[in-house]
DNA sequence: TCAATATTGTACTATTTGGTACAAAATAAG
DNA sequence: CTTATTTTGTACCAAATAGTACAATATTGA
Protein backbone atom coordinates (compact mmCIF):
# COMPACT_ATOMS: atom_id res chain seq x y z
CA UNK A 1 0.00 0.00 0.00
CA UNK A 2 1.19 3.44 -0.91
CA UNK A 3 0.74 6.57 1.07
CA UNK A 4 1.68 9.89 -0.40
CA UNK A 5 0.94 13.55 -0.61
CA UNK A 6 0.51 15.41 -3.81
CA UNK A 7 1.79 18.92 -3.28
CA UNK A 8 2.30 21.47 -5.99
CA UNK A 9 2.21 18.71 -8.54
CA UNK A 10 4.98 16.82 -6.83
CA UNK A 11 4.34 13.44 -5.36
CA UNK A 12 5.94 12.99 -1.98
CA UNK A 13 5.82 9.47 -0.73
CA UNK A 14 5.52 9.28 3.00
CA UNK A 15 5.46 5.57 3.59
CA UNK A 16 7.91 3.21 2.09
CA UNK A 17 6.33 0.93 -0.45
CA UNK A 18 6.67 -2.55 1.03
CA UNK A 19 9.47 -4.28 -0.78
CA UNK A 20 9.13 -8.04 -0.82
CA UNK A 21 12.64 -8.69 0.33
CA UNK A 22 13.12 -11.25 -2.39
CA UNK A 23 15.99 -13.62 -1.66
CA UNK A 24 18.69 -12.62 -4.04
CA UNK A 25 22.12 -13.99 -4.77
CA UNK A 26 25.15 -12.22 -3.38
CA UNK A 27 26.66 -11.51 -0.03
CA UNK A 28 23.97 -10.30 2.34
CA UNK A 29 24.09 -6.86 3.90
CA UNK A 30 25.49 -6.74 7.38
CA UNK A 31 23.35 -3.78 8.33
CA UNK A 32 19.75 -2.73 8.21
CA UNK A 33 19.27 0.25 5.94
CA UNK A 34 16.57 1.86 8.05
CA UNK A 35 18.52 1.46 11.26
CA UNK A 36 21.59 2.96 9.63
CA UNK A 37 19.42 5.77 8.28
CA UNK A 38 18.17 6.47 11.77
CA UNK A 39 21.73 6.86 12.96
CA UNK A 40 22.49 9.21 10.09
CA UNK A 41 19.44 11.25 11.03
CA UNK A 42 20.73 11.48 14.57
CA UNK A 43 24.13 12.75 13.43
CA UNK A 44 22.70 15.24 10.91
CA UNK A 45 20.28 16.52 13.51
CA UNK A 46 22.90 16.94 16.18
CA UNK A 47 25.78 18.31 14.14
CA UNK A 48 23.98 19.99 11.26
CA UNK A 49 24.27 19.11 7.60
CA UNK A 50 27.57 20.84 6.88
CA UNK A 51 29.32 19.91 10.10
CA UNK A 52 28.49 16.23 9.72
CA UNK A 53 31.43 14.67 7.89
CA UNK A 54 31.21 11.47 5.89
CA UNK A 55 33.39 9.93 8.55
CA UNK A 56 31.04 10.90 11.37
CA UNK A 57 28.15 9.46 9.45
CA UNK A 58 29.83 6.19 8.51
CA UNK A 59 30.96 5.58 12.06
CA UNK A 60 27.50 6.22 13.43
CA UNK A 61 25.92 4.05 10.77
CA UNK A 62 28.42 1.32 11.53
CA UNK A 63 29.36 0.66 7.92
CA UNK A 64 32.46 1.09 5.80
CA UNK A 65 33.08 3.17 2.73
CA UNK A 66 32.54 0.26 0.41
CA UNK A 67 29.04 -0.32 1.66
CA UNK A 68 28.25 3.33 1.92
CA UNK A 69 29.12 4.40 -1.59
CA UNK A 70 27.39 1.31 -2.92
CA UNK A 71 24.15 2.16 -1.15
CA UNK A 72 24.41 5.92 -1.56
CA UNK A 73 26.20 6.68 -4.78
CA UNK A 74 25.29 10.32 -4.42
CA UNK A 75 27.27 10.47 -1.17
CA UNK A 76 26.22 12.81 1.59
CA UNK A 77 23.57 14.49 -0.52
CA UNK A 78 21.74 11.31 -1.31
CA UNK A 79 22.05 10.18 2.27
CA UNK A 80 20.50 13.41 3.47
CA UNK A 81 17.76 13.13 0.92
CA UNK A 82 16.85 9.70 2.21
CA UNK A 83 17.25 10.82 5.79
CA UNK A 84 14.69 13.57 5.27
CA UNK A 85 12.28 11.06 3.84
CA UNK A 86 12.84 8.89 6.87
CA UNK A 87 12.14 11.76 9.26
CA UNK A 88 8.90 12.48 7.45
CA UNK A 89 7.87 8.83 7.60
CA UNK A 90 8.61 8.59 11.28
CA UNK A 91 7.23 11.90 12.45
CA UNK A 92 4.69 13.28 10.04
CA UNK A 93 2.76 10.14 9.22
CA UNK A 94 1.80 9.54 12.80
CA UNK A 95 0.83 13.17 13.34
CA UNK A 96 -1.23 13.16 10.19
CA UNK A 97 -3.12 10.04 11.19
CA UNK A 98 -3.80 11.50 14.59
CA UNK A 99 -5.09 14.70 13.03
CA UNK A 100 -7.38 12.73 10.75
CA UNK A 101 -8.86 10.50 13.42
CA UNK A 102 -8.73 12.20 16.82
CA UNK A 103 -11.61 13.81 18.62
CA UNK A 104 -10.14 17.29 18.86
CA UNK A 105 -7.54 18.02 16.17
CA UNK A 106 -7.16 21.62 17.34
CA UNK A 107 -6.22 20.51 20.82
CA UNK A 108 -3.86 18.03 19.26
CA UNK A 109 -2.00 20.84 17.52
CA UNK A 110 -1.92 22.87 20.71
CA UNK A 111 -0.39 19.93 22.53
CA UNK A 112 1.99 19.37 19.65
CA UNK A 113 3.42 22.85 20.19
CA UNK A 114 3.27 22.95 23.96
CA UNK A 115 5.02 19.62 24.15
CA UNK A 116 8.09 21.21 22.56
CA UNK A 117 9.16 23.11 25.64
CA UNK A 118 9.29 20.08 27.89
CA UNK A 119 12.73 18.66 28.58
CA UNK A 120 11.60 15.24 27.43
CA UNK A 121 10.69 16.48 23.96
CA UNK A 122 12.32 14.28 21.34
CA UNK A 123 13.23 17.36 19.33
CA UNK A 124 15.03 19.04 22.19
CA UNK A 125 17.28 21.90 21.21
CA UNK A 126 18.02 20.44 17.85
CA UNK A 127 15.33 22.36 16.04
CA UNK A 128 13.33 21.28 13.03
CA UNK A 129 15.10 18.88 10.70
CA UNK A 130 13.86 20.76 7.66
CA UNK A 131 14.12 24.28 8.97
CA UNK A 132 17.70 23.52 9.93
CA UNK A 133 18.34 22.23 6.43
CA UNK A 134 16.99 25.44 4.89
CA UNK A 135 19.40 27.50 6.96
CA UNK A 136 22.41 25.19 6.90
CA UNK A 137 22.65 23.94 3.36
CA UNK A 138 24.51 26.04 0.83
CA UNK A 139 22.89 27.50 -2.25
CA UNK A 140 24.84 25.09 -4.42
CA UNK A 141 22.66 22.28 -3.07
CA UNK A 142 19.46 23.85 -4.30
CA UNK A 143 17.81 20.46 -4.78
CA UNK A 144 18.12 19.54 -1.14
CA UNK A 145 16.80 22.90 -0.04
CA UNK A 146 13.83 22.56 -2.33
CA UNK A 147 13.06 19.13 -0.90
CA UNK A 148 13.32 20.48 2.62
CA UNK A 149 10.90 23.26 1.86
CA UNK A 150 8.49 20.79 0.27
CA UNK A 151 8.55 18.68 3.39
CA UNK A 152 7.91 21.74 5.52
CA UNK A 153 4.92 22.40 3.33
CA UNK A 154 3.72 18.90 4.07
CA UNK A 155 3.78 19.82 7.75
CA UNK A 156 1.90 23.00 6.88
CA UNK A 157 -0.69 20.91 5.06
CA UNK A 158 -1.12 18.75 8.14
CA UNK A 159 -1.79 21.88 10.17
CA UNK A 160 -4.28 22.92 7.53
CA UNK A 161 -6.05 19.60 7.72
CA UNK A 162 -6.27 19.91 11.48
CA UNK A 163 -7.75 23.39 11.20
CA UNK A 164 -10.19 22.21 8.55
CA UNK A 165 -11.44 19.38 10.70
CA UNK A 166 -11.52 21.62 13.75
CA UNK A 167 -13.67 24.08 11.89
CA UNK A 168 -16.03 21.38 10.70
CA UNK A 169 -16.42 20.17 14.24
CA UNK A 170 -17.06 23.66 15.58
CA UNK A 171 -13.90 23.59 17.70
CA UNK A 172 -12.47 26.84 16.37
CA UNK A 173 -13.62 30.35 17.15
CA UNK A 174 -11.38 31.93 14.56
CA UNK A 175 -12.92 33.28 11.38
CA UNK A 176 -9.66 32.81 9.52
CA UNK A 177 -9.49 30.25 6.76
CA UNK A 178 -7.58 27.00 7.41
CA UNK A 179 -4.79 27.83 4.94
CA UNK A 180 -4.20 31.14 6.69
CA UNK A 181 -4.11 29.47 10.09
CA UNK A 182 -1.79 26.82 8.73
CA UNK A 183 0.58 29.46 7.43
CA UNK A 184 0.49 31.11 10.84
CA UNK A 185 1.29 27.81 12.53
CA UNK A 186 4.16 26.81 10.27
CA UNK A 187 5.69 30.21 10.89
CA UNK A 188 5.26 29.72 14.61
CA UNK A 189 6.94 26.36 14.22
CA UNK A 190 9.85 27.88 12.34
CA UNK A 191 10.17 30.69 14.84
CA UNK A 192 10.00 28.69 18.03
CA UNK A 193 12.66 26.30 16.82
CA UNK A 194 15.07 29.20 16.53
CA UNK A 195 13.83 31.15 19.53
CA UNK A 196 14.32 28.21 21.86
CA UNK A 197 18.01 28.33 21.07
CA UNK A 198 18.26 31.88 22.39
CA UNK A 199 15.71 31.59 25.17
CA UNK A 200 16.51 28.81 27.59
CA UNK A 201 13.82 29.70 30.09
CA UNK A 202 11.11 27.18 29.35
CA UNK A 203 8.44 29.12 31.24
CA UNK A 204 8.93 32.09 28.97
CA UNK A 205 8.81 29.78 25.96
CA UNK A 206 5.55 28.32 27.16
CA UNK A 207 4.15 31.80 27.64
CA UNK A 208 5.19 32.69 24.15
CA UNK A 209 3.56 29.58 22.74
CA UNK A 210 0.30 30.17 24.59
CA UNK A 211 0.17 33.72 23.34
CA UNK A 212 0.62 32.49 19.79
CA UNK A 213 -1.82 29.66 20.15
CA UNK A 214 -4.51 32.14 21.10
CA UNK A 215 -5.25 32.47 17.40
CA UNK A 216 -6.55 28.91 17.32
CA UNK A 217 -8.64 29.16 20.46
CA UNK B 1 31.82 58.46 23.23
CA UNK B 2 30.74 55.00 24.16
CA UNK B 3 27.45 53.40 23.40
CA UNK B 4 26.56 50.07 24.88
CA UNK B 5 23.84 47.84 26.18
CA UNK B 6 24.00 46.12 29.51
CA UNK B 7 22.16 42.85 29.16
CA UNK B 8 22.13 40.11 31.75
CA UNK B 9 25.17 41.63 33.36
CA UNK B 10 27.12 41.55 30.12
CA UNK B 11 28.22 44.75 28.48
CA UNK B 12 27.72 44.70 24.75
CA UNK B 13 29.36 47.58 23.01
CA UNK B 14 27.44 48.67 19.98
CA UNK B 15 29.57 51.51 18.73
CA UNK B 16 33.26 51.28 18.25
CA UNK B 17 35.17 53.44 20.68
CA UNK B 18 36.92 56.03 18.53
CA UNK B 19 40.55 55.06 18.27
CA UNK B 20 42.90 57.97 17.65
CA UNK B 21 44.71 56.34 14.81
CA UNK B 22 48.06 57.31 16.29
CA UNK B 23 50.86 57.26 13.77
CA UNK B 24 52.94 54.29 14.67
CA UNK B 25 56.12 52.86 13.31
CA UNK B 26 55.99 49.88 11.02
CA UNK B 27 54.70 49.02 7.61
CA UNK B 28 51.22 50.44 7.15
CA UNK B 29 48.22 48.22 6.54
CA UNK B 30 47.21 47.93 2.94
CA UNK B 31 43.55 47.41 3.82
CA UNK B 32 40.90 49.03 5.93
CA UNK B 33 39.79 46.74 8.72
CA UNK B 34 36.15 47.78 8.62
CA UNK B 35 35.91 47.45 4.86
CA UNK B 36 37.46 43.99 5.05
CA UNK B 37 35.06 43.13 7.86
CA UNK B 38 32.15 44.17 5.67
CA UNK B 39 33.32 41.77 3.00
CA UNK B 40 33.62 39.00 5.56
CA UNK B 41 30.07 39.73 6.70
CA UNK B 42 28.90 39.42 3.11
CA UNK B 43 30.55 36.02 2.69
CA UNK B 44 29.34 34.67 6.04
CA UNK B 45 25.84 35.87 5.31
CA UNK B 46 25.73 34.38 1.85
CA UNK B 47 27.46 31.08 2.46
CA UNK B 48 26.76 30.47 6.10
CA UNK B 49 29.30 30.17 8.89
CA UNK B 50 30.37 26.60 8.27
CA UNK B 51 30.38 26.76 4.49
CA UNK B 52 32.55 29.87 4.44
CA UNK B 53 36.15 28.69 4.23
CA UNK B 54 39.12 30.73 5.34
CA UNK B 55 40.07 30.90 1.70
CA UNK B 56 36.70 32.34 0.65
CA UNK B 57 36.97 34.93 3.36
CA UNK B 58 40.54 35.96 2.64
CA UNK B 59 39.83 36.36 -1.04
CA UNK B 60 36.77 38.48 -0.38
CA UNK B 61 38.62 40.56 2.17
CA UNK B 62 41.47 41.01 -0.27
CA UNK B 63 44.21 40.14 2.16
CA UNK B 64 46.73 37.31 2.53
CA UNK B 65 47.20 34.80 5.27
CA UNK B 66 49.99 36.77 6.87
CA UNK B 67 47.80 39.79 7.41
CA UNK B 68 44.79 37.74 8.37
CA UNK B 69 46.30 35.69 11.15
CA UNK B 70 48.04 38.77 12.44
CA UNK B 71 44.77 40.67 12.71
CA UNK B 72 42.62 37.70 13.74
CA UNK B 73 44.73 35.31 15.76
CA UNK B 74 41.63 33.39 16.68
CA UNK B 75 41.05 32.62 12.99
CA UNK B 76 37.54 32.18 11.68
CA UNK B 77 35.97 32.30 15.12
CA UNK B 78 37.45 35.65 16.01
CA UNK B 79 36.58 36.99 12.59
CA UNK B 80 32.98 35.94 13.02
CA UNK B 81 32.86 37.43 16.47
CA UNK B 82 33.98 40.76 15.10
CA UNK B 83 31.70 40.43 12.12
CA UNK B 84 28.68 40.01 14.40
CA UNK B 85 29.68 43.12 16.26
CA UNK B 86 29.93 44.95 12.98
CA UNK B 87 26.46 43.83 11.91
CA UNK B 88 25.05 45.07 15.18
CA UNK B 89 26.78 48.42 14.80
CA UNK B 90 25.54 48.87 11.29
CA UNK B 91 21.99 47.63 11.68
CA UNK B 92 20.83 47.81 15.25
CA UNK B 93 22.20 51.17 16.26
CA UNK B 94 20.25 53.00 13.60
CA UNK B 95 17.07 51.12 14.40
CA UNK B 96 17.46 51.81 18.06
CA UNK B 97 17.94 55.52 17.51
CA UNK B 98 14.89 55.62 15.30
CA UNK B 99 12.84 53.82 17.92
CA UNK B 100 13.98 56.28 20.56
CA UNK B 101 13.28 59.40 18.58
CA UNK B 102 10.54 58.80 16.01
CA UNK B 103 6.95 59.92 16.25
CA UNK B 104 5.39 56.47 16.06
CA UNK B 105 7.71 53.67 17.19
CA UNK B 106 4.98 51.06 16.76
CA UNK B 107 4.51 51.96 13.13
CA UNK B 108 8.27 51.88 12.75
CA UNK B 109 8.33 48.27 13.89
CA UNK B 110 5.45 47.38 11.58
CA UNK B 111 7.35 48.90 8.67
CA UNK B 112 10.50 47.15 9.80
CA UNK B 113 8.77 43.80 9.37
CA UNK B 114 6.74 44.60 6.28
CA UNK B 115 9.85 45.89 4.55
CA UNK B 116 11.32 42.40 4.71
CA UNK B 117 9.16 40.96 1.98
CA UNK B 118 10.12 43.54 -0.61
CA UNK B 119 12.64 42.44 -3.18
CA UNK B 120 14.85 45.41 -2.35
CA UNK B 121 15.23 44.39 1.26
CA UNK B 122 18.91 44.37 2.20
CA UNK B 123 18.39 41.13 4.09
CA UNK B 124 16.88 39.32 1.13
CA UNK B 125 16.76 35.59 1.43
CA UNK B 126 19.83 35.44 3.59
CA UNK B 127 17.93 35.44 6.84
CA UNK B 128 19.00 36.92 10.14
CA UNK B 129 22.73 37.01 10.73
CA UNK B 130 22.30 35.86 14.31
CA UNK B 131 19.47 33.40 13.81
CA UNK B 132 21.54 31.79 11.08
CA UNK B 133 24.47 31.57 13.46
CA UNK B 134 22.37 29.84 16.10
CA UNK B 135 21.36 27.18 13.59
CA UNK B 136 24.62 26.86 11.68
CA UNK B 137 27.32 26.89 14.29
CA UNK B 138 28.23 23.61 15.95
CA UNK B 139 27.88 22.98 19.66
CA UNK B 140 31.64 23.01 20.01
CA UNK B 141 31.59 26.75 19.35
CA UNK B 142 29.36 27.48 22.31
CA UNK B 143 30.90 30.89 22.80
CA UNK B 144 29.87 32.13 19.39
CA UNK B 145 26.36 30.79 19.80
CA UNK B 146 26.04 32.53 23.14
CA UNK B 147 27.14 35.80 21.59
CA UNK B 148 24.67 35.38 18.76
CA UNK B 149 21.83 34.80 21.19
CA UNK B 150 22.88 37.84 23.20
CA UNK B 151 22.76 39.98 20.10
CA UNK B 152 19.32 38.63 19.26
CA UNK B 153 18.27 39.66 22.73
CA UNK B 154 19.53 43.13 21.95
CA UNK B 155 17.12 43.20 19.04
CA UNK B 156 14.41 41.95 21.35
CA UNK B 157 15.21 44.77 23.75
CA UNK B 158 14.85 47.27 20.90
CA UNK B 159 11.42 45.86 20.19
CA UNK B 160 10.62 46.19 23.86
CA UNK B 161 11.69 49.80 23.89
CA UNK B 162 9.50 50.50 20.90
CA UNK B 163 6.53 48.89 22.60
CA UNK B 164 7.23 50.77 25.79
CA UNK B 165 7.30 54.11 24.00
CA UNK B 166 4.28 53.16 21.96
CA UNK B 167 2.36 52.40 25.10
CA UNK B 168 3.39 55.67 26.74
CA UNK B 169 2.21 57.55 23.68
CA UNK B 170 -1.10 55.69 23.59
CA UNK B 171 -0.32 54.12 20.24
CA UNK B 172 -0.97 50.53 21.32
CA UNK B 173 -4.32 48.93 21.95
CA UNK B 174 -2.80 45.76 23.36
CA UNK B 175 -2.99 45.14 27.08
CA UNK B 176 0.09 42.95 26.93
CA UNK B 177 3.24 44.13 28.64
CA UNK B 178 6.13 45.36 26.45
CA UNK B 179 8.40 42.41 27.32
CA UNK B 180 5.68 39.99 26.25
CA UNK B 181 5.15 41.84 22.99
CA UNK B 182 8.90 41.97 22.42
CA UNK B 183 9.15 38.22 22.89
CA UNK B 184 6.32 37.79 20.41
CA UNK B 185 8.10 40.00 17.91
CA UNK B 186 11.50 38.38 18.17
CA UNK B 187 9.83 35.04 17.60
CA UNK B 188 8.06 36.45 14.58
CA UNK B 189 11.43 37.70 13.36
CA UNK B 190 13.02 34.29 13.84
CA UNK B 191 10.11 32.58 12.15
CA UNK B 192 9.75 34.79 9.13
CA UNK B 193 13.43 34.53 8.34
CA UNK B 194 13.03 30.78 7.99
CA UNK B 195 9.56 30.81 6.47
CA UNK B 196 10.60 33.09 3.65
CA UNK B 197 13.02 30.43 2.53
CA UNK B 198 10.18 27.97 2.02
CA UNK B 199 7.54 30.42 0.88
CA UNK B 200 8.65 32.43 -2.13
CA UNK B 201 5.28 34.05 -2.73
CA UNK B 202 5.75 37.50 -1.29
CA UNK B 203 2.03 38.24 -1.15
CA UNK B 204 1.49 35.29 1.14
CA UNK B 205 4.42 36.42 3.27
CA UNK B 206 2.93 39.87 3.57
CA UNK B 207 -0.41 38.37 4.58
CA UNK B 208 1.35 36.32 7.19
CA UNK B 209 3.16 39.34 8.54
CA UNK B 210 0.02 41.43 8.71
CA UNK B 211 -1.78 38.70 10.57
CA UNK B 212 1.03 38.55 13.09
CA UNK B 213 1.34 42.29 13.40
CA UNK B 214 -2.29 42.47 14.47
CA UNK B 215 -1.08 41.93 18.02
CA UNK B 216 0.55 45.36 18.00
CA UNK B 217 -2.33 47.18 16.44
C1' DT C 1 30.96 -28.04 -6.43
C1' DC C 2 30.76 -24.09 -9.37
C1' DA C 3 29.08 -19.83 -11.54
C1' DA C 4 26.87 -15.57 -10.81
C1' DT C 5 26.08 -11.84 -7.92
C1' DA C 6 26.08 -8.53 -4.21
C1' DT C 7 28.53 -6.73 -0.22
C1' DT C 8 32.54 -5.63 2.45
C1' DG C 9 37.00 -3.82 4.00
C1' DT C 10 41.11 -1.70 2.91
C1' DA C 11 44.41 0.68 0.52
C1' DC C 12 45.09 4.45 -2.15
C1' DT C 13 44.62 9.24 -4.17
C1' DA C 14 43.80 13.94 -4.85
C1' DT C 15 42.05 18.04 -2.89
C1' DT C 16 40.88 21.14 0.60
C1' DT C 17 41.60 22.92 4.89
C1' DG C 18 43.42 25.61 8.78
C1' DG C 19 47.41 27.24 10.29
C1' DT C 20 52.71 28.35 11.04
C1' DA C 21 57.24 30.26 9.91
C1' DC C 22 59.89 33.62 8.22
C1' DA C 23 62.21 36.62 5.12
C1' DA C 24 61.18 40.80 2.65
C1' DA C 25 59.07 45.27 2.65
C1' DA C 26 57.51 49.68 4.38
C1' DT C 27 57.16 52.93 7.65
C1' DA C 28 58.53 56.39 12.03
C1' DA C 29 61.82 58.08 15.06
C1' DG C 30 66.39 59.20 16.28
C1' DC D 1 71.42 56.31 7.49
C1' DT D 2 70.18 53.18 11.10
C1' DT D 3 67.17 50.92 14.17
C1' DA D 4 62.91 49.43 15.82
C1' DT D 5 58.48 48.16 14.54
C1' DT D 6 54.68 46.41 11.95
C1' DT D 7 52.70 44.33 7.89
C1' DT D 8 52.93 41.42 3.89
C1' DG D 9 53.46 37.46 0.77
C1' DT D 10 54.94 32.97 0.15
C1' DA D 11 56.38 28.62 1.12
C1' DC D 12 55.44 25.00 3.77
C1' DC D 13 52.98 21.46 6.74
C1' DA D 14 49.91 18.22 8.87
C1' DA D 15 45.32 16.75 9.21
C1' DA D 16 40.89 16.10 7.40
C1' DT D 17 38.02 15.16 3.57
C1' DA D 18 35.56 12.99 -0.25
C1' DG D 19 35.80 9.55 -3.14
C1' DT D 20 37.73 5.39 -6.14
C1' DA D 21 39.55 0.77 -7.06
C1' DC D 22 39.58 -3.74 -6.25
C1' DA D 23 40.42 -8.08 -4.14
C1' DA D 24 38.24 -10.87 -0.70
C1' DT D 25 33.98 -12.63 1.09
C1' DA D 26 29.37 -14.55 1.54
C1' DT D 27 25.41 -15.80 -0.38
C1' DT D 28 21.82 -18.20 -4.09
C1' DG D 29 20.84 -21.33 -7.47
C1' DA D 30 22.14 -24.70 -10.94
The answer to whether residue B2 sits within a structural domain is: no
The answer to whether residue A63 sits within a structural domain is: no
The answer to whether residue A71 sits within a structural domain is: no
Q: What is the pLDDT of residues B168-191, one digit of tens each?
A: 999 999 999 999 999 999 999 999
- Residue A160: which CATH number? 1.10.357.10
Please tell me the predicted confidence (pLDDT) of residue A25.
Answer: 84
All residues of chain B having their beta carbon less than 8 Å from the beta carbon of residue A197 are 134-135, 145, 149
Q: Is A66 (CB) below 7 Å from strand D?
A: yes
The answer to whether residue A182 sits within a structural domain is: yes
The answer to whether residue B8 sits within a structural domain is: no
Q: How far apart are CA B73 and CA B70, in angstroms?
A: 6
Mean pLDDT across B10-20: 57
The answer to whether residue A25 sits within a structural domain is: no
The answer to whether residue A30 sits within a structural domain is: no
Average pLDDT for chain B: 91
How many Cβ contacts (< 8 angstroms) between chains A and B? 118
Q: What is the pLDDT of residues B119-136, one digit of tens each?
A: 767 677 899 999 999 999
Of the candidates A138, A187, A212, the beta carbon closest to that of B51 is on: A138
Domain count, chain B: 1
Q: What φ, ψ does residue A115 adopt, rounded to 5°? A: -70, -15
Please tell me the predicted confidence (pLDDT) of residue B1.
Answer: 42
pLDDT > 70: percent of chain A: 88
Q: How far from each other are the two terminal CA atoms of chain B, in whole angstroms?
A: 37
Please tell me the predicted confidence (pLDDT) of residue A124.
Answer: 74
- Chain A interface, mutation test: which of B194, B203, B205, B209, most A Cβ atoms within 10 Å? B194
Beta partners for residue A12, in sequence order:
A5
The answer to whether residue B134 sits within a structural domain is: yes
Contacts of A27 (CB under 8 A, 6+ apart): none
Question: B46 and A127 in contact by Cβ < 8 A?
Answer: no
Q: What is the pLDDT of residues A80-115, one digit of tens each?
A: 999 999 999 999 999 999 999 999 999 999 999 999
3-state secondary structure of A176: coil
What domain range is A164 assigned to? 76-216
Q: What is the 3-state secondary structure (H, E, C) of chain B?
A: CCCEEEECCEEEECCCCCCCCCCCCCCCCCCCHHHHHHHHHHHHHHHCCCCCCHHHHHHHHCCCHHHHHHHCCCHHHHHHHHHHHHHHHHHHHHHHHHHHHCCCHHHHHHHHHHHHHCCCCCCHHHCCHHHHHHHHCCHHHHHHHHHHHHHHHHHHHHHHHHHHHHHHCCCCCCCCCHHHHHHHHHHHHHHHHHHHHHCCCHHHHHHHHHHHHHHHC
Amino acid sequence: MKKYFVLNGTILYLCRVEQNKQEMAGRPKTYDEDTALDEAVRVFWEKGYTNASADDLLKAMGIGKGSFYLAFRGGKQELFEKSMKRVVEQNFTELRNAVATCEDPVQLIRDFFLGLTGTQSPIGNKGCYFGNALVQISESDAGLKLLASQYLKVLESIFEEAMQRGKEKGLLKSELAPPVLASYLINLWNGINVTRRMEQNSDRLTELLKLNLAVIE
